[in-house]
Structure 1
Amino acid sequence: MRSERIRAVKSWRKGPRRYDTIFVNTDPSAHGMHGLDVARTRLFSFSYNGIKYPCALVDWFSCVDDVPNSNTGMWVVEPDILDDGTKFTSIIHLDSVVRATHLPVFGQDFISRTHTLSDTLDEFSSFYVNKYADHHLFEIAF
C-alpha cells in the first residue's frame, strides 16, 4: 500500500491555490465508478475544544452518463451546481476518501496563455476521470 498527499490550500508553495480532486466511496457494494463519486477538496480536518474532527469540506461532481465515454474509455464528470449557481458542497468523513484522482480537460479550442492550472476546475464545465494516470486509477475507475 502506498500513501499520497491530497492538498486543500489557499497558496501552494507561495503560488496559486491548490484544491485536489478525490474519489469518495459512496456505495461500497458497487464496483468501480458505480460506487465512487468525485469531489474537490476545500478544507481538511479541524480541531475544536481540543478535539480533532477527521473530515473534509468538498465540492461534488456527477457523472454525465451511466457509462464511460465510448471514444476514450474514461468517465466524464461535471460540477454539481445548485439552482442559485453555487456549487453543491458538503462535509464528509475522511474514512470515505479512497484516493486522489486526475481530471483533465480536452477539446478543440486553444486555452488562453493567462490561464493557470489552479483555475481549471472553475473555468471548465466537464472533465474526464483519467483512469490512465497510473495503475491504481486504472483498476479503480472502470
Structure 2
Amino acid sequence: MPREIIRSNPNWRNEFPRYDIVLVRIDPDLEDMRGMIAARVKRFISFTHDATRMVCAVVEWFVPYGDGPDPITGMWIVKLEIKHGKRVIGIVHLDCIS
C-alpha cells in the first residue's frame, strides 16, 4: 500500500517553516478539481468522540482562481481564502485528504 508524508513543521530543519498543501475531497461524485479543495496543513490533532479516535488536520483553505484550469499550464490556480482580513481555517479528517 503506498503512503504519503504530509509535513506540518514550524521549524523545518531548524531553518524555516514547512506546511504542505493537500487536496481535500468535498464531493466524491466529481472527478476533477471541482470535487476537491486545496488546503495548507498547519497542525495535526487527534481526539476521542464516542469512543472513536478521530485523527484530523487543522488547515488553511484555498479557493480556485477562475472557473477552470489555466489554459497555458492546464493546472488549476488557487489563492489563500481570506475573510475579513483573516485566513479561513478548518478541521478535516485525514480520510478526506486525497
TM-score of the pair, normalised by structure 2: 0.88
**Aligned counterparts of 1:53 and 1:29: Cα–Cα separation in 2:** 24
1:108-128 C-alpha deviation (Å, 9 max, x unpaired): xxxxxxxxxxxxxxxxxxxxx
Aligned-residue CA RMSD (Å): 1.6
- Give the secondary structure class of the aligned counterpart of 1:30: coil
- Give the secondary structure class of the aligned counterpart of 1:10: strand
> Residue 44 of structure 1 corresponds to which residue in structure 2?
44
Q: Where is the strand percentage greater, Structure 1 or Structure 2?
A: 2
Is 1:59–1:90's contact at 8 Å kept on the other side of the alignment?
Answer: yes
Letter in structure 2 aligned against 1:36: M
Runs of 4+ in 1 over 2 A off after TM superposition: 45-48
- Give the secondary structure class of the aligned counterpart of 1:37: strand
1:73-107 C-alpha deviation (Å, 9 max, x unpaired): 11110110012x11000111111011xxxxxxxxx
> Residue 34 of structure 1 corresponds to which residue in structure 2?
34
**Aligned counterparts of 1:39 and 1:24: Cα–Cα separation in 2:** 7
**Aligned counterparts of 2:53 and 2:60: Cα–Cα separation in 1:** 22
- Give the secondary structure class of the aligned counterpart of 1:17: strand
Cα displacement (A) at 1:46 = 3.2
**Aligned counterparts of 1:19 and 1:93: Cα–Cα separation in 2:** 17
What is the percentage of aligned positions where both structures have the same residue? 37
Cα displacement (A) at 1:33 = 0.6
Letter in structure 1 aligned against 2:20: D
Q: Where is the helix percentage greater, Structure 1 or Structure 2?
A: 1
In the TM superposition, what are the counterparts of 1:83-102 in structure 2 within 5 Å?
83=84, 85-98=85-98
Letter in structure 1 aligned against 2:36: L
- Which consecutive unaligned segments of at least 5 residues does structure 2 have? none
**Aligned counterparts of 2:74 and 2:31: Cα–Cα separation in 1:** 16
Cα displacement (A) at 1:39 = 0.2
> Residue 21 of structure 1 corresponds to which residue in structure 2?
21
TM-score of the pair, normalised by structure 1: 0.62
Is 1:41–1:57's contact at 8 Å kept on the other side of the alignment?
Answer: yes
Cα displacement (A) at 1:38 = 0.2
